[in-house]
Amino acid sequence: MREIKFGTIDYMAHRWKALVFSGVLIFITFVSLAVQGLNYGLDFTGGTVIELGYQEPTDTAEVRDVLEAAGLSGITVQHFGSNRDILLRIPPSGETNNAALSQKVFDTLAASVGGKVEMRRVEFVGPQVGKELTEQGGLAVLYSVFGILLYVALRFEWRFSVGAIAATIHDAIICIGVFTLFQLEFDLNVLASILTVIGYSLNDTIVIFDRVRENFRKVRKGSPLEIMNQSVNETMSRTIITAGTVFLVVVALYLFGGETLRGFSLVMIVGVISGTFSTIYIASNVAILLGVSPANLALVKKEGDGAGAQV
């Protein structure tokens, strides 16, 4: 891969400003979570999802007006793919028969367009299922964080492990912050995207930490801070190329992927930006603050083959 030269930049000179900036964003996220909470989708709250196919282009506002006129309020109406495909999300209600409720909704809309609509899909999610999904989703995040902690601690050194965990948690919080601040729908697609961001951020962090380990062993002069800064500069070409290509793809998904992929792609957009930032200013910074030095990695080098320890 051809390298792009960005010059030598003193990234670590701005590490305290970066920590303050991240601290402010995390504080805003926690305040928003305490005040507003997350706008959970039907995957977590339970409810009914109905997919309809119209023969003619249909405006969501008109569909919403028809439902409200029939006393069916609180239903989320959105296009699904094209302007002829409509997705309805019905929150849990006092109705004991979800099938009857969905049929009532369909009959109301079919009558308004002279029957020129078909019901393509109906899904029911019970409150108990939503509760289980919430618990399992939380466990998935915890297991992934624990796995990262163990992997980095075994491959590098515990100070690097803490730095990698700090960066991944930082990215997850920032992504959640966007959804709680703007009250965007948080569903299983969004949760899956957050786990993807964690993996992406870890991959970027490992690349820089691998170069730091290499430089700690071969650079005889310079403080840990200077060597860390050198390593970030040496890997910046790879970071920009990787982040840039991923960013272009997820932006295309956000613009043209339809409503189903909107939440997933939005998390990835935020995650790519946050992941690049956290790799430089959170993971590396935490390792430095914990006192990582060439002496720490020298111990690791004695335990195994020096050539095999490098990737």
Q: pTM for the whole thing?
A: 0.77
Distance CA 67, CA 111 (A): 11
Per-residue pLDDT at 99: 76
Contact 64, 107 (CB under 8 A): no
Per-residue pLDDT at 150: 79
Per-residue pLDDT at 207: 87
Contact 36, 68 (CB under 8 A): no
- Indicate the DSSP class of residue 6: -
Contact 48, 98 (CB under 8 A): yes
pLDDT tens-digit readout, 269-309? 999 999 999 988 999 889 888 888 777 665 444 444 444 44
Spans of the chain below 50 pLDDT: 1, 299-311
Alpha carbon separation from 173 to 29, 125, 184, 198, 271 (Å, rounded): 7, 27, 15, 11, 10
Kindly list the structural domains of the chain, giving each domain's residue range(s) and its CATH number in brackets, ordered by start: 11-39+129-309 (1.20.1640.10), 47-125 (3.30.70.3400)
Quick one: which H or E segment has residue 54?
A: strand 47-54
Per-residue pLDDT at 3: 52
pLDDT tens-digit readout, 215-261? 888 877 778 888 888 888 888 888 888 899 999 999 998 988 777 78
Contact 264, 253 (CB under 8 A): yes
Enter the tokens of residue 141: 């995040």
Distance CA 248, CA 74 (A): 35
Per-residue pLDDT at 304: 45
Per-residue pLDDT at 130: 63
Contact 215, 2 (CB under 8 A): no
Give the angle 154-158-164 at the CA atoms, nearest 5°: 90
* SS3 of residue 82 by DSSP: strand
Give the angle 245-194-12 at the CA atoms, nearest 5°: 65
